[in-house]
Amino acid sequence: MKEWTRKRKADVCMGILLQIYFFFPWIRIDGGYHTIHVYLIEIFRKESCIKAYNYIFLSGHPILWKYSGFAAVTFTMIIAFMIVMQMIELWQLYRHMKGIKTFDIHRYVWVLAIVLFFVYLDASYIYLDDSALFKLRIYMYMVIFIGIIGIWMFLDIEAAAWDTETAKHKTELKERDEQLLQVKVKALEEKYQEMLKSRKVVHDMKNHLLALKKYDQERDWEGLHQYLNELSDDMLDDSYQIWTGNRMLDMILNQKTKDAKEKETDMQIETEVFETLPFSDREIISLFGNVLDNALEACERIQDKKRWIKIKIKKKNHLLYIETSNAIKEMPVQNQKEFVSVKEDEILHGYGMKNIQDIVRKYDGIFRYKIYGEYLVCIISIYDIRGAEEE
């Protein structure tokens, strides 16, 4: 279904208002107030728009009947125009509610309504000096109608401008997100290649042992010490850990662990080995990156107590379970069951949360959260259909 943009919301609200206005009873006929539709029926009953006009609006001024022809015809045209307008707008309202593309006719309606209004005013005064052939309620009804259409046009222009700017901003944010992901992937790939390079020394163990034996035979303790130090820089580097066996996810977890350490945040990871995930590499970066970034940012605002993050990733019978808990400074503000960002760039933060929700929704997963006093728990559960089908 089409997105509920501001313009669409404005069109629906104003469309409903206009339908209500068309059904407002304001024409007094036979002692009661009726709508413009009843007036049209009265014309058919009288078999003349002039007779109907004189009977309804000039019943107490028969002297004016012979001058009312042009005014009566013009007023009938206005009523017919409004009823046609009502049917068109009712059809437009239905299309707006269904999210179907519509056509904008309000500027033409507004211009035509003003023209008919001034023609009617001219027709009402043309024959007798200062003797009006219309009632004040006719004047007010037409002025309000023109006002509603004018307000509708203004709202459409403002809403369309807002929607265009929002769409442009979303596009820029999406491009920015794509570029950021590319940079992250490149950086993580480089880190992974460096890790592989450092691990290659293990395959040269035979040569290293021969070299060590040579230093020992020659009793070159200084050379032996130096050689061992050089090897330790590569072989004893434990900064990179294999958490799951999935290369991309492991790189994310290692990078976020490093970030947490730099921000003086205790990060604990509980996971198990599983190489396959239902996500693409890009989705892994976006999902886990945004989840952990949000947790790190929440901890970064804490000044007077311990900062901590716990992430649990389990997979059982193709059900992927992700649980992230982190300390929080204060109770997050919520709006319509979603957290309100306290970051300076609220739109970008909201877009990050939207990325998480979009990925979970794509795989028919569940995303929920709960606040326990001074910490927040976010849970994501997704059934790995792809992994199940491969078996």
Q: Cβ distance 19 to 90 under 8 Å?
A: yes
Cα 229 off chain centre by: 55
Which of 169, 162, 166, 168 lies closest to 10, judged by CA?
162
pTM across the whole model: 0.48
Q: Residue 110 is encoded by which pair of tokens?
A: 């507004």
Rounded to whole angstroms, how far apart are CA atoms 103 and 149? 15
**C-alpha dist (Å) from residue 244 to 45, 234, 336, 352:** 84, 22, 35, 24
Rounded to whole angstroms, how far apart are CA atoms 83 and 37? 7
Overall size of the chain counted in residues: 391
Q: Residue 27 is encoded by which pair of tokens?
A: 């024409």
In terms of phi and psi (left: phi > 0; alpha: psi -120 to 50; beta: otherwise), the region of 265 is beta
Q: Cβ distance 138 to 75 under 8 Å?
A: yes
Q: What is the 3-state secondary structure (H, E, C) of the chain?
A: CCCCCHHHHHHHHHHHHHHHHHCCCCEEECCEEECHHHHHHHHHHHCCHHHHHHHHHCCCCHHHHHHCHHHHHHHHHHHHHHHHHHHHHHHHHHHHHHCCCCCCCHHHHHHHHHHHHHHHHHHHHCCCCCCCCCCHHHHHHHHHHHHHHHHHHHHHHHHHHHHHHHHHHHHHHHHHHHHHHHHHHHHHHHHHHHHHHHHHHHHCHHHHHHHHHHHHHCCCHHHHHHHHHHHHHHHCCCCCCCCCCCHHHHHHHHHHHHHHHHCCCEEEEEECCCCCCCCCHHHHHHHHHHHHHHHHHHHHCCCCCCCEEEEEEEEECCEEEEEEEEECCCCCCEECCEECCCCCCHHHHHHHHHHHHHHHHHCCCEEEEEEECCEEEEEEEEECHHHHHHC
- How many C-beta atoms surround the C-beta of residue 19 within 10 A? 13
Query: Going residue by residue through the chain (391 aa), what tens digit of pLDDT does each one get?
Result: 467 888 888 899 999 999 999 999 999 888 899 999 999 999 999 899 999 998 888 887 777 787 788 888 999 999 999 999 999 999 998 888 888 888 888 888 899 999 988 888 877 775 444 555 556 788 889 999 999 999 999 999 999 898 888 888 888 777 767 766 776 676 667 666 666 665 555 556 666 677 777 777 777 777 767 777 776 665 545 556 778 888 888 888 888 888 899 999 999 999 988 777 888 887 888 889 889 988 998 899 888 889 999 999 998 888 899 999 999 887 655 554 554 444 444 333 445 677 888 889 999 999 998 888 888 999 999 987 665 555 5
Which of 334, 324, 321 lies closest to 365, judged by CA?
321
Q: Cβ distance 50 to 72 under 8 Å?
A: yes
Which class is domain 241-390? alpha beta
The separation between the first and the last C-alpha atoms of the chain, rounded to the nearest angstrom, is 36
**C-alpha dist (Å) from residue 353 to 15, 119, 172, 219, 287:** 34, 57, 16, 62, 9
Rounded to whole angstroms, how far apart are CA atoms 274 and 315? 8
Rounded to whole angstroms, how far apart are CA atoms 302 and 283? 29
- Longest CA span, the chain: 135
Q: What is the pLDDT of residue 241?
A: 77
Domain with CATH 3.30.565.10 in the chain: 241-390
